[in-house]
Structure 1
Amino acid sequence: MIDAATAAGFARLTLGHVGQQYPYALQHVTCVPGDLRAPADQHPIFHGSYDWHSCVHGWWQLLTIARLYPQIAEVAEIRARADALFVAEKVAGEIAYFERPVAGTFERPYGWAWLLALHAEAARHDAGWAAALEPLARSIAARFAAHLPRLTYAIRAGVHSNTAFACTLALDWARAHDAELAQVIEVRARHWFGLDVACQAWEPGGDEFLSPALCEALLMSQVLGAGFAEWFDTFLPDAAAEQPGTLFVPAFVSDRSDGKIAHLDGLNLSRAWCWRAIAAALGEGHPVVPVAEAAAARHLEASLPHLDDDYMGTHWLATFALLAMM
């Protein structure tokens, strides 16, 4: 668990960008003349933080910090801004965007998953945020439930399209809010990943912020429960010897002003999160636990000092730092 001063620092970083409209990477399919509008007109709530999904998970981070560290000064601003944004009228505007005929793949699956995570966090608060966000969350959940059975092959990329990462966040929400979606995710995860053995871990790619291997293992730890260790021992049979070595060495980031290369800081942070969670799932006495915990520490150390080096990282990295340190 991070200390209150670190949490306050994360909150200040994120408060600085969730309302910053420009620069903004607008992911938008135009249909008719005049269809292209300013980000705040397209997205009444999530028009900051460079792109839609980063704004969503920036708000997840802020609400999480407000719950865990209610004593820090930044919580008053977090709550006031959330009160102004998470209201029925603005949520209706976000839903309207998703209901556009050409928006079926908008933010699928990464932004979808983070929206569910945001709603799950909002539901842990006594404000009206969760009630306001629920129609959007239900809409996203329905999209997940329709999409996953049609997804014949899991997407194993280390970027936003990664199936396992999105399913991990969505499963956490679904177990509390939608038992049918939870069952869909569990069935599909076993279908995609249940027979995987001897993972080669050919990673990282030059612009990846997720580990395909570790995200898969993290999802299966949630799905398999007590049976996870047996699956893991066939999936990464040499992990106790720190093999494949690519999973144990932090990525080198050559240029943090390059938005794609800066993803590698996110890879280090998300790997730290995955390794810590995998170690906890394997349980005391498993030979991989000490090497997993050491790998998590190395990856965190490599990128934690660089959250505010450049806006290409500042607009999102603190979320992954919080995941890694909670």
Structure 2
Amino acid sequence: MTLDQTTADRFARIALGHVSRPFPYFPGHCILNEEDRPLPQESHPIFYGSFDWHSCVHGYWMLATLIKSFPDLEAKDDIIALFRKHVTTQNVEIEQSYFENPLRRSFERPYGWGWLLKLVTELHAHPYLSEFADVLAPLAEKIAALYRDFLPLAAYPIRVGTHFNSAFSLRLTLDYAETFQDEELARLARSRANDWFGNDEACQAWEPCGDEFLSSTLMEATLMARVLDSTAFQDWFGRFLPRIMEGKPATLFTPAMVSTRTDGKIAHLDGLNLSRVWCWREILAALRPDEAFKALIERSCKAHLDASLPHIVGDYMGEHWLATFAVLALRGA
């Protein structure tokens, strides 16, 4: 299954309906004093919609991605107008200033950090929006600097399949570091990936947990596929999931069941299904699988898409972010 223009138009309209929707909003705001009670759009004049900061950031990423992939998208003019209205030098200064206080240096670490860097990467040399890579550059450099400071201190990875997952953010951050030739950030990201995951073997894939939207197992493998060369990754993957040719661990091939989509945490599991598809496709591209294994993965991907693609729209708990993960599944990062 691939992303076509009709689906892209539908996803674009979904995102345009929420990236500038201020409420409901879930702030990750560290209150500094009794006067420090700003509205989201005051602290975050660009990324104040989509229920939370990180979802708004990757909503913008998805919109930029869609008009790059489909130049005749019906929503193209509306997307360009959105960027021109909100992504301004003044608004970027306000967004950047939020990270300046030491008590807020971990705001949106690491998930939102990775997505902001990925957004700027997507805007680089963009056919319609490249000017906004320059506008957002100070915010991206601030987050890159925070990451360069943080990675030497991060002795241990976080493996849960939620916003704290270390592998997901590093996967996106490497794209930024290589595009903008941030050699120090790239070196640190690769070093940490090898330190954290290089010796992992016989993963039992204890997933899903009840609110995960990332496959902790496959996300780790996706990062290592990005870090290692083909031969080294083939060897690492064989040790990491030694029984994968037998369809084991079976949980990786079984779509997560979503009991309700009105609970924001449980609705995360639709994202898990979609993220597994993205991960499997990146892993397959890095391996040299035989036809039987490739067919096994493709059947699993179809089952995961069938389980969650029909539920992108319906309740705002999923609607404010799931289309992004559908684009990852259908198109890639």
TM-score by length of 1: 0.98
CA distance in 2, matches of 1:141, 1:101: 15
Instruction: Give the SS at the match of 1:217.
Output: helix
- 1:203-225: CA deviation from partner (whole Å, max 9, x where unpaired): 10000001110000000001012
Amino acid at match of 1:321: A
The question of 1:77 aligning with 2:81 is answered no
Q: Following the alignment from structure 2 to structure 1, what is the Cα–Cα distance between the partners of residues 57 and 154?
A: 24
SS at match of 2:104: coil
Q: Which runs of 5+ in 2 are unaligned?
A: none
Asked whether the 8 Å contact 1:279–1:293 carries over to 2, the reply is: no
Task: Indicate which of 311, 319, 326 corresponds to 1:321.
Answer: 326
Structure 2 Cα separation of the partners of residues 142 and 289 of structure 1: 40
Give yes or no for contact 1:113–1:169 (8 Å, CA) kept in 2.
yes
- Rounded to whole Å, the distance in 1 between the matches of 2:220 and 2:296 is 18
Amino acid at match of 1:222: R
**Equivalents in 2 of 1:116, 1:293: separation in Å?**
30
Distance 1:258 1:284 in 2: 38
1:230 equivalent in alignment to 2:235: yes
> Matched residues in 2 for 1:284 and 1:265: separation?
27
Residue 28 of structure 2: aligned partner: 27
Offset, 1:83: 1.2
Q: Are 1:281 and 2:282 an aligned pair?
A: no
Deviations 1:87-145 (A, max 9, x none): 11100000011112310110000000000000001113144100000111111111111
Equivalent position of 1:132 in the other structure:
135
Give the 5 Å matches for 1:1-326: 1-126=2-127, 127=129, 128-177=131-180, 178-226=182-230, 227-285=232-290, 288-326=293-331
Q: Deviations over 1:142-164 (max 9, x none)?
A: 11111111111110011000000
Cα deviation, residue 284, structure 1: 4.8
Residues 61 and 200 (structure 1), Cα distance of their counterparts in 2 relative to 1, 3 Å cut: same
Alpha-carbon separation, structure 1, partners of 2:229 and 2:303? 27
- Counterpart code for 2:165: N
Task: Write the letter of the residue equivalent to 1:69.
Answer: F
Q: Structure 1 residue 286: deviation in Å?
A: 7.1
Amino acid at match of 2:146: R
Q: Work out the percentage of aligned pairs sharing the same amino acid.
A: 50
1:279–1:288 contact (8 Å) kept in structure 2: no
Letter in 1 for 2:276: R
Change in CA separation of 1:191 and 1:287 when aligned onto 2, cut-off 3 Å: farther
Equivalent pair of 1:275/1:295 in contact (CA under 8 Å) = no
Deviations, residues 188-245 of structure 1 (Å, cap 9, x unaligned): 1111100100000011000000111000000000101211111101100111111001
* Partner-residue secondary structure (3-state), 2:103: coil
1:292 Cα offset (Å): 2.1
Instruction: Give the whole-Å Cα distance in 2 for the aligned partners of 1:218 and 1:62.
Output: 24
Distance 1:244 1:72 in 2: 40
SS at match of 1:102: helix
* Paired amino acid for 1:61: M
Following TM superposition, by how much is the alpha carbon of 1:29 offset from its aligned partner in structure 2, in angstroms? 1.0
Unaligned runs of 5+ in 1: none
What TM-score comes out, normalization by structure 2 length? 0.96
Pairwise CA distance, 1:22: 0.2
Alignment partners' CA distance in 1, 2:149 and 2:258:
38
Aligned residue identity for 1:202: W
